[in-house]
Amino acid sequence: MKIQSTLLGLMLSAAVSLNAQTDNGIMSLKEFAYPAKRQTLNIPDVNGFKVLKCDFHMHTVFTDGHVWPNVRIQEAWREGLDAISYTEHMEYNPHSADVKVDHNRSHDLAIELAKENNILLVKGTEVTRQTPPGHFNALFIQDANTLVSDNDSKLDQEAIDKAYAQKAFIFWNHPGWKATQVPGSYEWIDFVEKMYNEKKLHGIEVVNGLGFHKKALDWALDRNLTIIGNTDIHNLIAHDYNIGAPGVHRTMTLVMAKDRSAAAIREALDAGRTVVWSSDYLFGKEEHVRNLVNASISVSPAYHEKTNAKTNVTTKYYEIKNNSDLSFELELKSGNATKRIVLYPESSQVLTADAGQSSLSYEIVSTFIRSDKHLDFKINLK
Amino acid sequence: MKIQSTLLGLMLSAAVSLNAQTDNGIMSLKEFAYPAKRQTLNIPDVNGFKVLKCDFHMHTVFTDGHVWPNVRIQEAWREGLDAISYTEHMEYNPHSADVKVDHNRSHDLAIELAKENNILLVKGTEVTRQTPPGHFNALFIQDANTLVSDNDSKLDQEAIDKAYAQKAFIFWNHPGWKATQVPGSYEWIDFVEKMYNEKKLHGIEVVNGLGFHKKALDWALDRNLTIIGNTDIHNLIAHDYNIGAPGVHRTMTLVMAKDRSAAAIREALDAGRTVVWSSDYLFGKEEHVRNLVNASISVSPAYHEKTNAKTNVTTKYYEIKNNSDLSFELELKSGNATKRIVLYPESSQVLTADAGQSSLSYEIVSTFIRSDKHLDFKINLK
Amino acid sequence: MKIQSTLLGLMLSAAVSLNAQTDNGIMSLKEFAYPAKRQTLNIPDVNGFKVLKCDFHMHTVFTDGHVWPNVRIQEAWREGLDAISYTEHMEYNPHSADVKVDHNRSHDLAIELAKENNILLVKGTEVTRQTPPGHFNALFIQDANTLVSDNDSKLDQEAIDKAYAQKAFIFWNHPGWKATQVPGSYEWIDFVEKMYNEKKLHGIEVVNGLGFHKKALDWALDRNLTIIGNTDIHNLIAHDYNIGAPGVHRTMTLVMAKDRSAAAIREALDAGRTVVWSSDYLFGKEEHVRNLVNASISVSPAYHEKTNAKTNVTTKYYEIKNNSDLSFELELKSGNATKRIVLYPESSQVLTADAGQSSLSYEIVSTFIRSDKHLDFKINLK
Amino acid sequence: MKIQSTLLGLMLSAAVSLNAQTDNGIMSLKEFAYPAKRQTLNIPDVNGFKVLKCDFHMHTVFTDGHVWPNVRIQEAWREGLDAISYTEHMEYNPHSADVKVDHNRSHDLAIELAKENNILLVKGTEVTRQTPPGHFNALFIQDANTLVSDNDSKLDQEAIDKAYAQKAFIFWNHPGWKATQVPGSYEWIDFVEKMYNEKKLHGIEVVNGLGFHKKALDWALDRNLTIIGNTDIHNLIAHDYNIGAPGVHRTMTLVMAKDRSAAAIREALDAGRTVVWSSDYLFGKEEHVRNLVNASISVSPAYHEKTNAKTNVTTKYYEIKNNSDLSFELELKSGNATKRIVLYPESSQVLTADAGQSSLSYEIVSTFIRSDKHLDFKINLK
């Protein structure tokens, strides 16, 4: 009977039981192997909705990305994502001398691997137009190849119309890209206004990679467009993000969906139930950010109190806890209490407040509910 | 209005916004500061019981430890422990030339800090006898100083009796300590048998620091004594454990308690509802280890299946998920399925099994329900 | 004048000065970005030779790898490698439906990027034969396309002869691969014996990925073939190795070369001046392993001594230091001194020895100078 | 013969060979143990001087610190420091109800352990005066107990004079401490001026913990006082600094000394050959910061060049390398070249520059050679 466990050391330098020598004369040196696992990203349900972690913008060698499609599934699996979408450029194919152009190919090559790993794969493409207006992603399409125009990238309208005809969910990517090179490219131009009026524009990419496009957030809020954030990854996630370091995650769209399915993602995108998570920040409509915060942060009843003999002031002690892998930074706005609270993922802090207060008012400065506005957060004390 | 968040980078090299210069000409260089937080140790409730993380054996400068009592509270708070106990030696006071001997002092000095940080402090002491029989911890005592005998360490009986009179919970520490130096010291001797018969022995420390005392586990199982594991820390936790590295934790007793209180801990200890967690391993009575495993591991319904065209064998895909910060290593015992599964904390793996099976049988080789026996774990497939 | 530094937090969660807002309305969220740098792998010169870090076996999308060729340069640069070689399969092209077959293409696409990043690119290929004999790598070739036979993989001889005619350095890859499936495939067969006799076999891959091929080491030693270790990476390095964790590195061949150039690498390979470094282990000819150890480990003169009043034994204190990023584990063979010493990268340990000894004898159990033999290491005490 | 190495996994979750079971029935669970080692802090010699890593300000339980003296030696050994000094408060003894007051005791208790671990122990004390002027450290004293005045903390002069009589090296600690509470306490007051004129003030603590006292740097520069930086640690280093994370180190004084001895440290302090290293920053006199930078950073000759066909501009490629564990951030001041370079510890970057330039001018924004001035750094191109 085997009575000695060989569970490898956790996480980093996974340990090896060196007697794990096979009978064919090859000894395994596993200490340095990556510990294969799908890391859970813990975010509690929000008002009965699952919070799905989604990245709707990425590339592979089939356009200008650096990896075969299977790598995107590996990355998503390791990082705990629920859904991704290959969004190859329609009009930009720099590898065409080596790689046969087929706009559906990355999706088709990866679909079986995605299913085996329980990753939801949303069929998408990137309509790569002149800037301005720039680029648009179309998700939930049927066939990317039929969207291609005659490769004259000025014929913007045609590809958008075709995607719309395929009932795509269409969002404007990284508005302001090339803003410094192309004057006027960070504006809400007529082309976009027309799309918007014709209901062909459904969302805006407010965070692209590690760039927060401030005007884009306000545009989305003012026009009730869905707020999206993606990596737009071309390289390895591990070479652009410090993935593997504690708490580090890629930029993603948190989709509050009725269940874990592609259909539920579509319904949630249409309904605008999203929050963008990038670095330590959250971006979204006040309602959704607030719901996410309320699901994540809890404050205990007072567990202790102490009266200062000199001042006669009684201090009460509370535990404020972050039940998610998100992070929050709070600054006190009114009340006599702890002035600044950093809630790291899955951790808590001691919150002290003078007795006699029924509530405190904080601002969560790591949220953006407008380009110049953080979420207010009221704590009711018990 | 402040519109730029200054949430510090998470976890490791916490970032600083260098413009955070105070008006008194002192600039803060916070990048390298430890990010103060109480890390949550996630373990789901087990059959309605809270799983409290407890360490019932430690020392400070008041006997032969290296830290002031407050440090033990800091450590416990950072690591997410619920309860600790100072168990200073009764008869061994190597610092007495410098530090006044008072067996209650470490507890008394720390009690207010413990309360402020929501750490449950259980009053205890270590009766430090000759080996054999060795040392015993007494928890939930009233006054350690009254337990001291005339310092003749052979008068074992008296201190035990006094502790018993104080209604202490008494357990035998690290049986086998000095086993190589003192022949016969790793035996169930008459002194212990007498204690046991008089109901003055309630538990056994099966893991002390990073040593698993194998005989001790079997003794506890055979006599229905409570299974305990502690650090017996003298040094800093951070110098003995690689604390801070992902997944690393101190040795502790997981107590399945009715609520988060000292009284509930006492009830659970008396009832024997404990599992020891040390390194990647769990040690305990089969029933409790099984309950803890069942609360931690979940298996999804099949989310995909695939039939091999050549062999006509259909493979089904399941997600096996660890919902806790514990870790598990499974080895297949019967069925055609994934042979070895390592469940790192808060992560999942893909489990594949041939279609047509209603269950699988695994052994969890990272558990010990006896010194030579791991837990069997049956997975029902849906 | 700018008077506040904005040096990003080191290493992991690189910090951001959030006021680094550009004037085009896009705010940078850099905390989670990978800190781009070429990590130095410190290994001191060995007897005047530079120790070059080389990986001579890898794949890209041009055969069955998962990345575009540029990724291999990025990886090598980040990890501090000096030289790599693309060794695409000659006869195995599973991506040919999508990627045009050209056996020189990965090299040609990457050569300029390699030069810009100061990575030495050695032109190579993998002759992918039936097993047995299995696969052979040919380095320093002129043109991989001309080596292709009529794709009948049994015509082993022809490709080898053509590579030899191009003055290639040829080594046998991972002997024993498929040993469990193909009986006799882990033997020194006639085909190999003939190559060896005709001087067409110059080295053996003793470590492939994280597998140490024990027979291969002994074959190389007995026939004076050059000892090689490579990743044979198909996936991302970061997905197969726990790269980024402290001390973790890919498997590589350490080449003791006259200078940092491709020509010097060739000269050193021909002369057999190599040691393989994989996980915490070194593999090689005794002479080279010893030289590398001597260059890496130093022992100080005694800096302290203490006499035990009871035993009258005097203990001397020395510092034993590892000046490299390698690691070593030593076990005492003779003498009265510290029994076991682990020398982590760039660190030291206290070595204590009874006075009156002029030397100590250790075995470095993390080295293999034969499949069943570690290096002896004598320490002269001062 | 033992043919399988058991070198533990490096660094973090040190691995265990679980068959390492001792014969006394106690199984070792070492995966989570701290890997005991003295980490080398690599800083090259500067103009023939050794760069010693020193922390001259710390406390233990013998005044208001939280650890027994031996912990400070452990910490220093682990972190690769060369010298430390216990500087217990003369007039502040909050533990006196429990710990016997003896101002030499922490030094005396630790001296043998320091010797065994090759840590240089400099005898010191902290003269804890009213603020202003605040506190002063006296190093290289003979006997701390004789320095105590009648505990009237206003008798500042007497303790200083006694320390001076013991030939102490005296520096002003954290000027500006309590600046917000005590108006005028961040000024160069008469008391200090008198000390300075009488040659009784030899240095100033410019960085205390993670606070950079900007005025203090300028005072030191203007009066040619030695620039000092210390932790002033009371708690565990591991609880105040994120020690263990890559690149993280405590605040320290880098002393450029003729050899590694206490006498050489004294000579260097008297000569003012110091640079303070805190977080990612260096603070010191221009000459010493420049010498340290020159010893640490090297730039290779151009290894590649490329001409842009359109612009006809030729770009040359250089490797800029940081040979130390320090870190540097450079910003281009003149020339056409890479604008911003971050040199992480022991790593390099690619530096590109237009051809035809003989030198480049950078500012090292992570250095302070005055409170408002960074070091200029000229790179000569080859």
**DSSP code for D72:** H
Q: Which domains does chain C have, with CATH numbers?
A: 1-35 (no CATH), 50-284 (3.20.20.140), 297-380 (no CATH)
Chain segment A178-222, per-residue pLDDT in tens: 887 888 789 999 999 999 999 999 999 999 999 999 999 999 999
Are A41 and A76 in contact, with CB atoms under 8 Å apart? no
Query: Given this model, what pLDDT does residue D151 score?
Result: 57
Chain segment B329-381, per-residue pLDDT in tens: 999 999 999 999 999 999 999 999 999 999 999 999 999 999 999 999 999 99
Tell whether the model's pLDDT for residue A13 goes beyond 90: no
Put simply, whether D376 touches C (Cβ < 8 Å) is no
Query: Given this model, what pLDDT does residue B76 score?
Result: 98
Query: Given this model, what pLDDT does residue A29 score?
Result: 78
- Test A118 with B247 for CB contact under 8 angstroms: no
Q: Which of B7, B321, B350 to mutate to test the interface with A (most CBs of A within 10 A)?
A: B7
Mean pLDDT calculated for residue range C6-10: 27
For CA atoms D325, D331, D332, D338, give the dihedral sign. positive
SS3 content of chain D, % helix, strand, coil (to 5): 20, 30, 45
Q: Which of B74, B260, B300, B344 to mutate to test the interface with A (most CBs of A within 10 A)?
A: B344
Query: Given this model, what pLDDT does residue A151 score?
Result: 57
Among candidates A6, A14, A18 on the partner chain, residue whose Cβ is nearest the Cβ of D4: A18
Max intra-chain CA distance, chain C: 82
DSSP letter string over A164-198?
Answer: HHTT-EEEE-STTTTTTTSTTTTS--HHHHHHHHT
CA atoms within 13 A on the CB side of B208: 20
Chain segment B263-276, per-residue pLDDT in tens: 999 999 999 999 99
Query: Given this model, what pLDDT does residue C151 score?
Result: 57
Query: Given this model, what pLDDT does residue C27 score?
Result: 83
Query: How far is the C-alpha of A36 from the C-alpha of C311, rounded, in Å?
Result: 53
Tell whether the model's pLDDT for residue D239 goes beyond 80: yes
The rounded percent of chain C whose pLDDT value lies above 90 is: 80
Mean pLDDT calculated for residue range B125-152: 86
> Residue C160: enclosing H or E segment and its boundaries?
helix C156-165
Query: Given this model, what pLDDT does residue A155 score?
Result: 57
Closest CA to A233 of A29, A9, A43, A67: A67
Mean pLDDT calculated for residue range C267-281: 97
Tell whether the model's pLDDT for residue C25 goes beyond 70: yes
Query: Given this model, what pLDDT does residue D178 score?
Result: 83
Query: Given this model, what pLDDT does residue B35 score?
Result: 78
- Test C28 with A240 for CB contact under 8 angstroms: no
Where does the pLDDT of residue C106 fall: very low under 50, low under 70, confident under 90, or very high at 90 and above?
very high
**B79 → chain A, closest CA residue:** A347
Tell whether the model's pLDDT for residue B299 goes beyond 90: yes
Are B274 and B253 in contact, with CB atoms under 8 Å apart? yes
Mean pLDDT calculated for residue range A80-95: 95
> Residue D340: enclosing H or E segment and its boundaries?
strand D340-343
Query: How far is the C-alpha of B304 from the C-alpha of B297, rounded, in Å?
Result: 20
* CA of C316 vs chain A CAs: smallest distance (Å): 34
Q: Tokens 């076999």 map to which residue? A: C201
Query: Given this model, what pLDDT does residue A154 score?
Result: 58
Q: What is the mean pLDDT of chain A?
A: 90
**DSSP code for C146:** G
CA atoms within 13 A on the CB side of C127: 32
Where does the pLDDT of residue B150 fall: very low under 50, low under 70, confident under 90, or very high at 90 and above?
low
Give the CA-trace dihedral at D138, D143, D144, D149, to 10 degrees: -100
Q: Give pTM, 2 decimals.
A: 0.94
Put simply, whether A170 touches C (Cβ < 8 Å) is no
Which residues sit opposite C137 in a β-bridge? C126, C171
Query: Given this model, what pLDDT does residue B214 score?
Result: 95
Where does the pLDDT of residue D150 fall: very low under 50, low under 70, confident under 90, or very high at 90 and above?
low
Chain segment A285-320, per-residue pLDDT in tens: 999 999 999 999 999 999 999 999 999 999 999 999
How far CA C319 is from CA of C136, C322, D75, in Å, comes to 45, 10, 17
Mean pLDDT calculated for residue range B135-145: 96
**Residue C360 tokens, joined:** 């100590």
The verdict on whether omega for the bond into residue B35 sits within 30 degrees of 0, i.e. cis, is no
- Test D329 with C5 for CB contact under 8 angstroms: yes
Which residues sit opposite A38 in a β-bridge? B348
Q: Specify the range with the lowest mean pLDDT, choosing from B150-159, C167-176, C181-190, C210-219.
A: B150-159
DSSP letter string over A233-279?
Answer: B-S-HHHHB-BTBTT----EEEEEESSSSHHHHHHHHHHT-EEEEET
End-to-end CA distance of chain A: 55
**DSSP code for A16:** -
Chain C residues in contact with D281 by the CB 8 A cut-off are 5, 7
Tell whether the model's pLDDT for residue B198 goes beyond 70: yes
Max intra-chain CA distance, chain A: 82
Query: Given this model, what pLDDT does residue A9 score?
Result: 26
For CA atoms B58, B62, B67, B70, give the dihedral sign. positive
**Residue D139 tokens, joined:** 């190093």
Mean pLDDT calculated for residue range C178-189: 85
The rounded percent of chain B whose pLDDT value lies above 90 is: 80
Tell whether the model's pLDDT for residue A46 goes beyond 60: yes
Tell whether the model's pLDDT for residue D44 goes beyond 70: yes
Query: Given this model, what pLDDT does residue C35 score?
Result: 78
* CA of D10 vs chain A CAs: smallest distance (Å): 6
Tell whether the model's pLDDT for residue C154 goes beyond 80: no
Among candidates A4, A16, A19 on the partner chain, residue whose Cβ is nearest the Cβ of D15: A16
Query: Given this model, what pLDDT does residue B2 score?
Result: 30
Query: Given this model, what pLDDT does residue B152 score?
Result: 60
Query: How far is the C-alpha of A185 from the C-alpha of B108, rounded, in Å?
Result: 68
Phi, psi (5° rounding) for residue D203? -155, 170
Closest CA to A330 of A374, A286, A270, A272: A374
For A239: left if phi > 0, alpha if psi spans -120 to 50, otherwise beta; the answer is alpha
Among candidates B317, B323, B347 on the partner chain, residue whose Cβ is nearest the Cβ of A116: B317
Chain C residues in contact with B21 by the CB 8 A cut-off are 4
- What residues 308-337 of chain B have any CB closer than 8 A to a CB of chain A? 317, 319, 321, 323, 327-329, 331
Tell whether the model's pLDDT for residue B279 goes beyond 80: yes
**Residue B198 tokens, joined:** 């008089």
Among candidates B12, B18, B27 on the partner chain, residue whose Cβ is nearest the Cβ of C13: B12
Give the CA-trace dihedral at A91, A73, C33, A225, to 10 degrees: 60
What residues have CB less than 8 Å from C109, skipping those under 6 apart? A98, C68, C69, C70
**Residue A2 tokens, joined:** 């085997």
Tell whether the model's pLDDT for residue C34 goes beyond 90: no
Q: Tokens 């505990």 map to which residue? A: D151
Query: Given this model, what pLDDT does residue C246 score?
Result: 83
* CA of A121 vs chain B CAs: smallest distance (Å): 14
Of the two residues A11 and A310, the one the predictor is more confident about is: A310
Q: Specify the range with the lowest mean pLDDT, choosing from A154-163, C196-205, D136-145, D188-197.
A: A154-163
Tell whether the model's pLDDT for residue C152 goes beyond 70: no
Query: Given this model, what pLDDT does residue D179 score?
Result: 80
Query: Given this model, what pLDDT does residue C16 score?
Result: 30
How far CA A291 is from CA of A44, A284, A288, in Å, comes to 11, 11, 5
Query: Given this model, what pLDDT does residue B48 score?
Result: 97
Query: How far is the C-alpha of C368 from the C-alpha of C283, rounded, in Å?
Result: 5
* CA of D374 vs chain C CAs: smallest distance (Å): 7
Are B22 and B28 in contact, with CB atoms under 8 Å apart? yes
Among candidates C117, C281, C366 on the partner chain, residue whose Cβ is nearest the Cβ of D350: C117
Q: What is the mean pLDDT of chain B?
A: 90
Query: How far is the C-alpha of C139 from the C-alpha of C133, rounded, in Å?
Result: 18
Q: Which of C16, C66, C106 to mutate to test the interface with A (most CBs of A within 10 A)?
A: C66
DSSP letter string over C301-312?
Answer: PP-EEEE-TTT-
Q: What interhelical angle do D69-79 and D105-116 show, nearest 10?
A: 40
Query: How far is the C-alpha of D263 from the C-alpha of B379, rounded, in Å?
Result: 69
Chain B residues in contact with C17 by the CB 8 A cut-off are 17-19
Chain segment D70-98, per-residue pLDDT in tens: 999 999 999 999 999 999 999 899 999 99
- What residues 107-166 of chain B have any CB closer than 8 A to a CB of chain D? 109
Chain segment C330-357, per-residue pLDDT in tens: 999 999 999 999 999 999 999 999 999 9
Query: How far is the C-alpha of B210 from the C-alpha of D18, rounded, in Å?
Result: 12
Put simply, whether A242 touches D (Cβ < 8 Å) is no
Tell whether the model's pLDDT for residue D289 goes beyond 70: yes
Tell whether the model's pLDDT for residue A333 goes beyond 90: yes
Chain C residues in contact with B17 by the CB 8 A cut-off are 17-19
Tell whether the model's pLDDT for residue B10 goes beyond 70: no
Q: Tokens 């992070």 map to which residue? A: A327
